[in-house]
Amino acid sequence: MSLQTQDRILRIKTVLQVTGLTRSTLYRKVQRGEFPKQIKLSERCAGWRQSAVDAWMRNPMFYSVDDGNIK
């Protein structure tokens, strides 16, 4: 039996706490492609994949959404 790690969906409060960014800086970085895009969960609800936030946290200065990886 293999254990698979499930990718959690993080809401805005958690993303802000983990990254230390302000809400406006987070959305500015998303718009510029410097932070992972959120995924829509419902009409008025969105979140971020924990794996994407973790990838950004490993090296935020060189993260690019173009390929979803660090350049």
Summarised one tens digit per residue, pLDDT across range 11-67 is: 999 999 999 999 999 999 999 999 999 999 999 999 999 999 999 999 999 888 775
- Domain borders along the chain are 9-61
Residue-wise pLDDT for 28-42, tens only, equals 999 999 999 999 999
Cα–Cα distance, 69 to 71 (Å, whole number): 6
Chain position carrying tokens 């660090």: 70
Cα–Cα distance, 32 to 60 (Å, whole number): 13
- Smallest CA-to-CA distance from 70 within 51, 60, 26, 21 is with 60
Q: Which two tokens stand for residue 63?
A: 């993260």
Q: Which two tokens stand for residue 58?
A: 């490993």
Structure pTM?
A: 0.80
Chain position carrying tokens 């987070």: 26
